[in-house]
């Protein structure tokens, strides 16, 4: 029987398997130090989907709580599009967190008349909900700084260093102009009314949305420390696989490890999907090349369905383009596993029909516009590289699946059918 997988595709990584980002962590710890001495700080953490923003924030919270004596709360605002919802979620999460930190009584006292809208839910009343009516909520939106100030007083009475409030996935909010204005006047109010305000707020969103916020409200962005995160290095991905597999007493053959690193392309989300698929594929606590290849294929399929299908197959409606993409997939299927990340225009042209050929250049341009390939400068004119190593695998799988739909099950033909 297999134990639980050490991998966490789709949710923030636990602190003990968090890898890399040392410089960024150090930088943020410096801001936490400032916060501890009473200065209100604001960080905007930006990066693409799946790059590891929530994981970094969660790791920072872990450090701040365990090593710097802070209270930390991480709020996911995915569905929120109003200030009322932000404030409600933030206060609800602070209540939840205070419950685990033994300051719950003190914090709820602060809520005064609003206490009747706090409910303990779940087994043993472990979780908390906070649902005040609209007019009260509106009042809290306008007086958020004062509400937080009261909470900070209680936190200080408990000899804690301060509060870290992480507002994650604010993407729905950047569209509402109120948000920028509210945030700006919140920090202005704090700066002019309070001398000691040990609060660090970390806002998390996509880089495009941060840029849009900056356009709408340039003076807002000046209050933020901007932190951007990007791909992990090969060395970090390697260390991640070694750490995670050693947790479940599994060894990795070095060629297999090279493939796993290559196909992760430095993207944490890919690294997790690949690790998880391989974990469930391997059955002798030794990951060899065969395990790696079948795990990577499963991961590519999963990732393709989640990220690439909408982006590529959804965007490429033209029948001719799709036919070209499938031929590209067939060609990839015939390559050696190690050389599938590049291709040349003239090799594709060779395998196209007469009516497909005139569309090839537009097809190649479309692939570049969609961010799937880039010109491979080292490969010379007409050479392309996939921006992500799993794209070619997915394109190959899609073309095989398509062939299966058209020609009947693939394995029947080679006499390997199992059902
Ligand atoms: N530094 C890291 N070390 C290990 N795994 C990570 C790291 N950063 C992210 N991950 C993993 O990558 C995936 C995406 O991370 P997440 O933090 O949810 O990204 P984002 O919030 O940017 O969309 C998750 O499965 C997470 O467990
Ligand atoms: Mg996230």
Any idea what the Cα angle at residue 347 is, between residues 341 and 351, rounded to 5°? Answer: 115
Per-residue pLDDT of 334-390, as tens digits, reads 887 667 889 999 999 999 999 999 999 999 999 998 888 999 988 889 999 988 777
- Candidate from 9, 12, 56, 273 with most ligand 1 atoms within 8 A of CB, to mutate: 12
Q: Whose CA is nearest to atom 14 of ligand 1?
A: 50
What Cα–Cα distance (Å) separates residue 403 from each residue in 321, 341, 353? Answer: 16, 22, 17
Q: Is 6 in the pocket of ligand 1 (CB under 6 A)?
A: no
State the pLDDT at residue 416: 38
Pocket test for ligand 1, best of 18, 21, 52 (most atoms within 8 A of CB): 52
**What angle do the packed helices 83-100 and 134-142 form, to 10 degrees?**
80
Measured in degrees and rounded to the nearest 5, phi and psi for residue 415 equal 70, 30
Cα 169 to ligand 2 centre (Å): 6
Quote the CA–CA distance of 193 and 145 in Å, as a whole number: 9
Taking only the tens place, the pLDDT of each residue in 88-122 is 999 999 999 998 877 888 899 889 899 999 998 87
Separation of CA 301 and ligand 2 centre (Å): 22
Confidence of residue 306 (pLDDT cuts 50, 70, 90): confident
Between the CA of 143 and the centroid of ligand 1 the distance, in Å, is 34
Counting atoms of ligand 1 from 1, which one is nearest the CA of 267?
A: 12
Pairwise pLDDT comparison (409 vs 27), residue with the higher score:
27
* Position in ligand 1 atom list of the atom nearest CA 58: 17
Instruction: Give the global pTM.
Output: 0.85
pLDDT computed for residue 338 by the predictor: 67
Distance 52 CA to ligand 2 centre (A): 7
Q: Tell me: the pLDDT tens digits for 149-188?
A: 999 999 999 999 999 999 999 988 877 778 989 999 999 9
Domain ranges of the chain: 21-228, 234-413
Token digits for 5? 């997988």
pLDDT of residue 1: 61
Provide the pLDDT confidence category of residue 412 given band limits of 50, 70 and 90. very low
Q: What is the rounded average pLDDT for all residues in the chain?
A: 89
The CATH number of the structural domain formed by 21-228 is 3.40.50.300
In the prediction, which pLDDT does 337 show?
A: 66
Q: Give the residue among 362, 333, 323 at the shortest CA–CA distance from 345.
A: 362
**Is residue 408 predicted with pLDDT exceeding 70?**
no
**Spacing, Cα 10 to ligand 1 middle (Å):** 7
Q: What are phi and psi of 386, to 5 degrees?
A: -75, 135
Q: Which of 17, 168, 209, 269 to mutate to test the pocket of ligand 1 (most atoms within 8 A of CB)?
A: 269
DSSP single-letter state for residue 244 = H
Asked if 275 and 256 count as a contact pair (C-beta separation under 8 A), the reply is: no
Shortest-distance ligand to the CA of residue 46: 1
- Residue 51 Cβ < 6 Å to ligand 1: yes
Structure tokens at 80: 């929120």
| pLDDT score for 415 | 35
Give the pLDDT band of residue 205 (cuts 50, 70, 90).
Answer: very high
Ligand 1 in reach of 268 Cβ (< 6 A): yes
Which tens digit of pLDDT belongs to each residue from 239-264? 999 999 999 999 999 999 999 998 88
> What are the pLDDT digits (tens) for 7-41?
999 899 999 999 999 999 999 999 999 999 999 99
Cα 232 from Cα 238, distance rounded (Å): 10
The answer, yes or no, to whether any atom of ligand 1 lies below 6 A from the CB of 240, is yes
Query: In this structure, which residue's CA is closest to atom 27 in ligand 1?
Result: 13
| Cα–Cα distances in angstroms (integers) from residue 363 to residues 313, 321, 328, 395, in the given order | 13, 6, 11, 14
205 lines ligand 1 (CB under 6 A): no
Is the CB of 13 inside a 6 Å radius of any atom of ligand 1? Answer: yes
**Region 35-50 average pLDDT:** 94
């Amino acid at each position: 029987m297999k134990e639980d997988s050490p991998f966490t595709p789709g949710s923030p990584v636990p602190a003990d398997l968090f890898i890399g980002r040392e410089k960024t962590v150090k930088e943020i710890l410096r801001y936490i130090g400032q916060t501890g001495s009473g200065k209100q700080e604001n960080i905007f953490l930006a990066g693409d989907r799946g790059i590891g923003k929530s994981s970094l924030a969660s790791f920072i919270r872990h450090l701040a709580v365990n090593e710097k004596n802070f209270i930390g709360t991480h709020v996911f605002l995915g569905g929120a599009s109003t200030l009322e919802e932000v404030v409600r979620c933030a206060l609800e999460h602070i209540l939840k967190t205070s419950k685990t930190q033994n300051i719950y009584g003190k914090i709820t006292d602060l809520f005064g008349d609003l206490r009747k809208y706090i409910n303990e839910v779940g087994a043993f009343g472990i979780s908390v909900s906070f649902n005040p009516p609209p007019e009260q909520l509106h009042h809290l939106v306008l007086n958020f700084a004062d509400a937080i100030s009261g909470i900070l007083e209680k936190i200080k009475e408990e000899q804690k260093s301060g509060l870290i409030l992480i507002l994650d996935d604010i993407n729905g909010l950047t569209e509402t102009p109120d948000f920028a204005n509210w945030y700006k006047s919140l920090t202005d109010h704090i700066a002019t009314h309070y001398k000691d305000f040990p609060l660090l707020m970390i806002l998390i969103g996509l880089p495009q949305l941060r840029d849009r916020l900056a356009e709408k409200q340039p003076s807002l962005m000046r209050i933020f420390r901007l932190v951007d995160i990007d791909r992990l290095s090969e060395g970090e991905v390697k260390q991640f696989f070694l750490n995670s597999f050693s947790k479940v007493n599994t060894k990795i053959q070095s060629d297999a490890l090279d493939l796993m690193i290559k196909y992760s392309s430095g993207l944490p989300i890919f690294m997790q999907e690949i690790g998880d698929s391989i974990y469930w594929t391997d059955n002798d606590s030794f990951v060899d090349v065969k395990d790696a290849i079948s795990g990577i294929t499963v991961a590519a399929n999963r990732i393709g369905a989640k990220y690439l299908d909408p982006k590529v197959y959804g965007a490429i409606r033209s029948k001719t383009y799709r036919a070209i993409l499938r031929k590209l997939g067939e060609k990839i299927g015939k390559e050696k596993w190690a050389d599938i990340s590049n291709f040349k225009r003239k090799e594709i042209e060779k395998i196209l029909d007469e009516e497909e050929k005139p569309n090839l250049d537009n097809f190649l341009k479309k692939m570049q516009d969609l961010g799937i390939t880039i010109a491979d400068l080292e490969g010379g004119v007409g050479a392309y590289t996939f921006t992500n190593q799993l794209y070619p695998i997915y394109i190959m799988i899609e073309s095989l699946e398509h062939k299966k739909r058209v020609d009947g099950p693939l394995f029947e033909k080679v006499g390997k059918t199992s059902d």
